[in-house]
Amino acid sequence: MKIYLLSQDVVSGYDTYDSAIVIAENEDEARKIHPNEYVTHVTNGQWMGTCSNGEEYKNELYEWVEYSDIDKISVKYIGEASKEQQKGLVLASFNAS
């Protein structure tokens, strides 16, 4: 697994993420990791979350790049993750209002 820095300047201002550090197999997989820990997967090209009862819901917060624009996310390789580290979000930078 590799460690990547994701950054974007498509969505900016208050209550938005500007960057995140993620662990993934490759750059394409890294782009598919949303910096909001409650966004758990993608369905039909939409960022989705999962409720505690197992139901899914569409993430309607415009705090990060739309899934259809993930090619606009900048991905920078940082290094190798240890074997104990799992794929996913490590750290995110959120600009709160």
In-domain check, residue 54 = no
In-domain check, residue 53 = no
d(CA 75, CA 87): 15
Whether 25 has a pLDDT exceeding 90, the answer reads yes
In-domain check, residue 56 = no
In-domain check, residue 89 = yes
Looking at residue 84, what is its pLDDT? 86
In-domain check, residue 55 = no
pLDDT digits (tens, 9 = 90+) for 42-97: 999 999 999 989 899 998 888 999 999 999 999 999 999 998 889 999 999 999 87
In-domain check, residue 40 = no
Q: What global pTM score does this model have?
A: 0.92
Domain with 28, as residue range(s), is 2-35+63-95
- Please state the domain count of the chain: 1
In-domain check, residue 44 = no
In-domain check, residue 41 = no
Chain-centroid distance of CA 85 in Å reads 17
pLDDT, mean of residues 32-50: 94
